[in-house]
Amino acid sequence: MKIFIESIIMAFDAVRANKLRSGLTLLSIAIGIFAIIGAGTAVTSLNNSVNGELASLGQNTFQIRRRPSIIMSNREWQKYRSRKPIDFAMARDFKRQMESAEAISINDSESNLIVKANNLSTDPTVNVEGIDEGYFVCNNVTIDEGREFTAEDISLNRNVIIIGRDVAERLFPFGSPLGQQVTVKGHRFTVIGLQKKRGSILGESLDDLVYVPISIYQKYFAEFVSLTIYVKSSSKEALGFTTDEAIGVMRTLRNVKPGDDNNFEIETNESLATSFAGFTSYLTMFGFASGAIALIAAGVGIMNIMLVSVKERTREIGVRKAIGAKRWNIMSQFVIEAITLCQIGGIFGIILGFIGGLALGSALGFSSASVPTEWVIGSVAICTLLGILFGSYPAWKAASLDPIEALRYE
């Protein structure tokens, strides 16, 4: 224990004796650990935020799309781009033929539009969602004031609209929006509902949007690509049966031959979470790669500091050997010093990572962003390994000094 404490004290002495060199080396370690901690914080916060949003949709809802929501490579894109779209007629036939679903919704959207009312207008950031009466059940969307769409709104092509809180606060700051007129892309709508505030995800507001009937959306907005169909089963236990029925109906509607692969995608909340986790794993690898480069450079600096320390303390090493110190005593002392230096830099890196995590949460609108405990423990382990790897050679060199030659060293 005494040797351990003395080694730590000597490590701090080495930092004080070589302030600039030590400072740059410790900064490299801090940057490396910050990159690793930052990647861990970003990935954990992103996954938690997305998983929380998916969980709010319910565990017995799935989507049917032309192609996956997340495409990882251009090769995959080439595979999916030739698939024929899910058009409105096909979606209506699907909805009509499904028997086991509790609710089905047809959806499409267009982003970055402006909504106007009287002399006020929003920024060009509003999403317009074309939906039907089943959307609110499938996606657990709540209307705070007014009413939801009805089947008659869809079938009669009524120019009605439901708006999000951000839009309402911008266009109607002093009164209720219900019954008021708004204009989107030159078309006038009557406000019949106000969505309950939902907050944001990944820095994007979930309240900066409006809903219009899918039939009206097809008429006024759609630059048609492909529709999304949401399906909600009656329970979590019935999800598998409803999914199988949906696959069968879609294969029939899209003329998929027996034995051929589906030319559409079924995405559950669980599969979406898994796909997103695969995407964010690239952030983890990037953080580790960046951190590894900085840590290798820092390791070389640690070795340089320790070699200088060996040279400056050659006579001291000779005295210690002369009075009976063993090779492992000398080696352990210098390795502990190297580990201590690495841990000093690591602590600063962890602190920077914690601050970066809080800044990330604030910037992206996460409810909470914290450094995962396992990443902190991993960082401490990495710093320890770094100290052992790059401190071993100077320690071996110190332990190999001839005591007589060391005592003569000036």
pLDDT in tens, 67-111: 877 666 667 667 777 788 898 889 999 999 998 888 899 999 888
Low-confidence ranges of the chain (pLDDT < 70): 1-4, 6-22, 46-59, 70-74, 76-77, 201-203, 223-224, 269-281, 283, 357-358, 360-371, 403-410
Look at residue 380 in the predicted model and tell me its pLDDT. Answer: 83
Q: What is the pLDDT of residue 187?
A: 93
pLDDT number for residue 249: 92
Supply the pLDDT for residue 246. 92
Please name which of 205, 222, 121, 184 lies closest in space to residue 162, comparing C-alpha atoms.
Answer: 184
> What is the model's pLDDT at position 111?
87
Q: What's the pLDDT at 216?
A: 92
Assign 3-class secondary structure to the chain. CHHHHHHHHHHHHHHHHCHHHHHHHHHHHHHHHHHHHHHHHHHHHHHHHHHHHHHHCCCCEEEEECCCCCCCCHHHHHHHHCCCCCCHHHHHHHHHHCCCEEEEEEEEEEEEECEEECCEECCCCEEEEEECCCHHHHCCCCEEEECCCCHHHHHCCCCEEEECHHHHHHHCCCCCCCCCEEEECCEEEEEEEEECCCCEECCEECCCEEEEEHHHHHHHCCCCCCCEEEEEECCCCCHHHHHHHHHHHHHHHCCCCCCCCCCCEEEEHHHHHHHHHHHHHHHHHHHHHHHHHHHHHHHHHHHHHHHHHHHHCHHHHHHHHHCCCCHHHHHHHHHHHHHHHHHHHHHHHHHHHHHHHHHHHHHHCCCCCCCCHHHHHHHHHHHHHHHHHHHHHHHHHHHCCCHHHHHHCC
Position 333: which residue type?
A: Q
pLDDT at 57: 59
pLDDT, position 343: 84
What is the pLDDT, as a whole number, of residue 21?
A: 65
Read off the pTM. 0.66
What pLDDT is recorded for position 17? Answer: 63
Contacts 24+ apart (CB under 8 A), 169-176: 170/120, 170/122, 171/115, 171/116, 171/117, 171/118, 171/120, 171/121, 171/122, 172/117, 176/145
pLDDT tens-digit series, residues 328-378: 877 877 788 788 878 888 888 888 877 776 676 666 666 555 667 777 888
Query: What is the structure's pLDDT at 158?
Result: 93
